């Protein structure tokens, strides 16, 4: 019994809570792709792909303030709109709990928003537990992100902003990391369209990803905290002075969601902090399952 008590205390500690504020499991299911869990801890509702010890929370919201972006990386992804504060068409690969698409729908009500999610169960959970409600200007496609991009290429959709946030329980699927995939993504961007990608800042894949994105998009903005957000452009990179002006346009709406220019603008950086001689990831060479198991040196 004492051993069981110690184990429970350890799991609670690793989950970042106390017995009075521990996770309560609301839902669990096994989809075609993964285990999905929904937990509640005080005011916070989260979607997890691992439980009871959450090595990564896929999506969370505050019940008392559901429109607030509570993760740094979701706030950082919104910095991509500093390069285009008036998008007409937005594509997001990876739905999660639908928190970012919901915010996009609120801030850009006239924009056509396409959301692609490979797992129908994730979409059902987002709608049931996270109040994800696509409006008339939002379409949700249950499809592999790369298949969707390939299918859209003949239609020449010319997205103004494309956001890449597709993760499995460990990391980004390897077929969504390669030069060929990024070239496909670039081909459906409008001229001067913006690419926003969520990656990790401390991974053995860091150098590989960096040289691969740079090979396709050229110089990019590199925003780094626990995650790092790559912001590139289908054309020359937007100057920082223009980004500051665009930030002022969006600041009032962003502050309602818990972020803003005072947090985001200092993160913009174009410095190269990776080994530029690293091998580019391709469809023939993308061993992300091996590389990502190693710490970044």
Angstrom distance (rounded) from CA 295 to CA 205 = 9
- Return averaged pLDDT per consecutive 10 residues of the chain, 297 residues in all: 35 38 88 94 93 74 95 97 98 96 97 98 97 97 98 97 89 94 98 97 92 98 96 97 98 97 98 96 82 49
What was the pLDDT predicted at 51? 85
What was the pLDDT predicted at 170? 77
**First-to-last CA distance in the chain?**
42
43 is catalytic: no
Angstrom distance (rounded) from CA 113 to CA 228 = 23
What was the pLDDT predicted at 290? 60
Angstrom distance (rounded) from CA 282 to CA 173 = 13
What was the pLDDT predicted at 292? 60
Segment holding 249, helix H or strand E: helix 240-256
What was the pLDDT predicted at 2? 32
Domains of the chain with CATH codes: 72-291 (3.40.50.150)
What was the pLDDT predicted at 7? 37
What was the pLDDT predicted at 297? 39
What was the pLDDT predicted at 294? 46
Q: Which is the catalytic residue, given 114, 144, 160, 165? A: 165
What was the pLDDT predicted at 245? 98
What was the pLDDT predicted at 57? 75
Tokens 């410095």 sit on residue: 271
Query: Do the strands 35-41 and 89-93 form a parallel or antiparallel pair, or are they unpaired?
Result: unpaired
């Amino acid at each position: 019994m004492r051993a069981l008590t110690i184990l429970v205390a350890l799991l609670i500690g690793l989950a970042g809570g106390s017995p009075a504020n521990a996770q309560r499991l609301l839902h669990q299911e096994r989809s075609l792709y993964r285990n999905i869990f929904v937990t509640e801890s005080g005011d916070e509702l989260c979607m997890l792909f691992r439980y009871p010890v959450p090595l990564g929370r896929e999506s969370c919201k505050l019940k008392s303030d559901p429109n607030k972006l509570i993760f740094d990386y979701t706030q950082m992804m919104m910095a991509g709109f500093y390069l285009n504060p008036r998008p007409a068409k937005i594509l997001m690969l990876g739905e999660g709990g639908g928190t970012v698409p919901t915010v996009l729908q609120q801030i850009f009500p006239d924009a056509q928003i396409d959301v692609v999610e490979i797992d129908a169960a994730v979409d059902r959970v987002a709608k049931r537990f996270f109040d994800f409600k696509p409006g008339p200007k939002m379409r949700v496609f249950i499809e592999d992100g790369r298949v969707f991009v390939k299918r859209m290429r003949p239609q020449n959709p010319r997205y103004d902003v494309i956001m890449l946030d597709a993760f499995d329980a460990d990391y980004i699927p390897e077929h969504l990391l390669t030069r060929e995939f990024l070239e496909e993504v670039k081909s459906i961007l409008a001229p001067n369209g913006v690419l926003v990608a969520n990656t990790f800042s401390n991974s053995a894949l860091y150098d590989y990803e960096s040289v691969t994105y740079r090979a396709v998009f050229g110089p990019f903005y590199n925003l780094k905290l626990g995650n790092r957000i790559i912001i590139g452009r289908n054309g020359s990179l937007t100057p920082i002075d223009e980004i500051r002006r665009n930030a002022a346009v969006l600041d009032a709406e962003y502050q309602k969601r818990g972020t803003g220019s005072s947090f985001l603008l200092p993160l913009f950086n174009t410095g190269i902090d990776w080994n530029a001689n690293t091998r580019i990831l391709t469809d023939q060479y993308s061993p992300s399952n091996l590389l990502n198991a190693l710490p970044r040196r």
